[in-house]
Amino acid sequence: MKNQVCIVTGANSGIGEETALSLAKLGATVILLCRNYERGNITLKNIISESNNKNVELMLCDLSSQNSIFDFTSKFKNKYDRLNVLINNAGILLNKRTISVDGIENTFAINHLGPFILTNSLLNLLKSSSPSRIINVSSSAHYRTNFDIDNLQGEKKYSSFDAYCKSKLYNVLFTYELSRKLAGSNVTVNCLHPGFIPTNLFANSLFFYKAIVKILSPILIDAKSGSKTSTYLATSKDVENITGKYFVKCKPRKSSKISYDKSTSKNLWNISEKLINYNKSAEGRI
């Protein structure tokens, strides 16, 4: 992975931290994309120390804010002339319905729309750096919901867990639609279920944290184990030409039936584009 530039979102803890550490140990230049400077800086120091790799950098971005995303991508492209791996790892599960600074429901904003904007804003750089890879961390939770075009952001009926499940379905739909748009570009995009890990994902929902630990304790794994599929998709030669797939334990698996519906993925893409405030981007449309 030497001379490879990688971005890992949500890299200050859990799966993101372990994935970033693995890439750093392989010699990659790794950008830890985090919202909080203090926590991110602690992780930065730990990864540099453990990997003996000084080419690790902390950069800040709040995925709930479109302005913050555009600000980051502008700074990144001014500093780096290539991007080989983008891992959209950050995710959140909230106690209640809250709204972002852009007027978007926060689970939708952070888990789907933020990665959607980030990826598209970096797409030209990924193409010019090809072969390159995009990895979206989804979840098997996507099997537990459906696509309701009239309630994408919980406008009519809201459940914290269903909002999370829907966002993970959106990750899969986004992956498949993007893979079709990138056909022939030498940029691959895949998604994955990392396993059941009691990480900071549940930091904002103590109820869900306790429930997950109690119900799933026989199959819970640690963050290091949970990062294996992300790292595999980012580095393995076995998948260098594989795109548009859903992986579990480093193996392709069948995702939910609705996730393969092309009209649904196109609808989600078009709706997502309409929610972007292009006035906040110095570069205009992504």
- Active-site positions read 164
Distance of alpha carbon 276 from alpha carbon 286, whole angstroms: 9
CB-CB contact of 166 with 176 (8 Å):
no
C-alpha 278: how far from chain center: 21
Length of the chain: 286
CB-CB contact of 157 with 173 (8 Å):
no
